[in-house]
Structure 1
Amino acid sequence: MPPLTRSVLYIPASKERALDKARGLPADAIIFDLEDAVAPDEKETARNTLRAALKQGGYGRRLRIVRVNGADSAWGADDLRALKEMSFDAVLLPKVETSAQVDAVVAVLPDTPVWAMIETPLGVLNAAEIAAHSAIEGFVMGTNDLAKELRCRFRADRLPLMGALQSTLLAARAHGVIAVDGVYNAFKDEEGLAAECAQGRDLGFDGKTLIHPAQLAIANDVFSPDEAAVDLARRQIDAYEAAEKDGQGVAVLDGKIVENLHVVTARQILAQAEAIAATAE
């Protein structure tokens, strides 16, 4: 089972207080941001601050992802070199459009999983090629930049972005890559966040990137299987296994057919529920 990524929180790598607070937040993953959240004159300081925080540790089971500056920037190469001295779980590369960009990261950090920001039209069009790269572990939708590049208008239903969201998700699923939805900017709008999380969940995303700790509880709740889903999963497995013992290839539960494909999904739900329960221990 892939790591939990229901809630993936951006934290500025330059903010020592925020880095410390993150150790106690209920986030599944943290993106330590060296890119957009750090001013140009703070880039070197941010690397040093992040190095000290990661050395201190204390982030527990949380997935530690570091977003670097792009290779075409003045800071990207230095970011990658600095990461050689740090302990983390994955590097997040912004504005990925080709697998060659991933190759450039692997050349510096050969044993490090790479996550890719998909936030440009070319990135969406080449998502399958990028997902097929052996170093790629996850996709993060950069919906703000993508909307800017597409020149589309904001709509609560995100209809103008739907083609890009689904195309990227298809590529991720085709190659076994984690896919995390983009941010919701109005961090005080709990109803809007819950609705967009539910949409992302229903599309098939594994979780939501977040810009504020206040968004964590909603994302964790929406992307977690509820009691009814867990109960149904157990009963589907039991019904199918009982049917197998009787020499049947399908079972009937609550008036609906249960096949092997339903059992696969049911086992995934139970595995996720167990992983979530473990985070509370």
Structure 2
Amino acid sequence: MTTVPYIPPRTALFLPASNPRAIEKARGLAAEMIVLDLEDSVRDEDKACAREAAVAAAAEGFGGRLVAIRVNGEDHECHADDVAAVAASAADFLVVPKVETAALAARVAAAGKPVLAMIETPAGLLAAPAIAAVPGVAGLIAGVNDLRATLGVPADSGRAGIGYALQAIVLAARAAGVWALDGVYNALEDEAGLAEDCAAGRLIGFDGKTLIHPNQIAVAARAFGPSEVEIADAEALVAAATGGAERFRGRMIEAMHVDQARALLARGGRG
């Protein structure tokens, strides 16, 4: 089991490392994690320059926010160079796409940087418990677009066709004690749809949401952060608990509920 010395991010914004304007803009955004992408959003001819830009951006930092870099997949010619560069960088995490085996996760983790493994295929889904349990793996990310494609689910089907897959990712992460981050939402102008998607993700246990546009940050942050009502209830529960099983506001609580309340307060900055 990997011990992650950070509270999971509610919002993790992907942006192409080949786009200096996007990187500069991200320094003023409220996303709790910035994910500099070397993979899908970068053309092959720009990969090497994007790698250098990502390393430089991580070194400069994003105002104390978490920084991750997504490398190219193991079947890409840039993979080894990407992993070596990210491992030596100031980034907090190394994101690996299309992880299908614990062996791949272990090999990348051996480079020395905490790994966020993307689960994007049926093989990755079936191996998710083993992948999450690899020492050095800090979390799993649901790659919803590739999951739909590889499972043969229509691209516009929402969460319905991948519901089991998403729950399995959360289950694997929880069994290993690591993060679980929900996949992206593609409809950039559908705020109501995004809010519904985020609410569904939180309901099954995801810690936060991966995003592809700055306009999605506020909606996801609200959905995955505790409400004022939840915070007030958690504060009251912690204050009232005296140990063992006892009655609180008409329900039974025990040590587990106190721990949950304290975790919620920490996530809301009240702990």
State which of 235, 254, 261 in structure 1 corresponds to 2:249.
254
Distance 2:27 2:126 in 1: 37
Deviation (angstroms), 1:155: 2.8
Residue 9 of structure 2 corresponds to residue 5 of structure 1 = yes
User: What secondary structure does 1:165 align onto?
Assistant: helix
Aligned residue number for residue 162 of structure 1: 163
Conserved 8 A contact 2:98-2:120 = yes
Distance 1:92 1:117 in 2: 7
Q: Normalized against structure 1, the TM-score is what?
A: 0.90
Change over 3 Å in CA distance of 1:84–1:257 after alignment to 2: closer
Deviation (angstroms), 1:261: 1.8
Deviating 4+ runs (over 6 angstroms): none
Residue 91 of structure 2 corresponds to residue 88 of structure 1 = yes
Distance 1:84 1:254 in 2: 49
Aligned residues: 266
Deviation (angstroms), 1:270: 1.0
Change over 3 Å in CA distance of 1:84–1:164 after alignment to 2: closer
Distance 2:144 2:265 in 1: 30
User: What secondary structure does 1:91 align onto?
Assistant: strand
State which of 107, 110, 113 in structure 2 corresponds to 1:104.
107
RMSD: 1.5
Aligned residue number for residue 140 of structure 2: 139
User: What secondary structure does 1:274 align onto?
Assistant: coil
5+ unaligned residues in a row in structure 2: which ranges? none
Distance 1:82 1:227 in 2: 42
Deviation (angstroms), 1:82: 2.4
Change over 3 Å in CA distance of 1:172–1:67 after alignment to 2: same
Deviation (angstroms), 1:84: 4.4
| CA deviations over 1:66-113 (Å, ceiling 9, x no partner) | 100012112111212322442111100110011111232234x2x211
Amino acid corresponding to residue 228 of structure 1 in structure 2:
V
Superposed, which structure 2 residues align to 1:105-120 within 5 Å? 105-107=108-110, 109=111, 111-120=112-121
Deviation (angstroms), 1:138: 1.1
Aligned residue number for residue 273 of structure 1: 268
User: What secondary structure does 1:139 align onto?
Assistant: strand
Amino acid corresponding to residue 134 of structure 2 in structure 1:
H
Distance 2:29 2:179 in 1: 22
| CA deviations over 1:116-150 (Å, ceiling 9, x no partner) | 00000010101010011001001110000000000
Residue 69 of structure 2 corresponds to residue 66 of structure 1 = yes
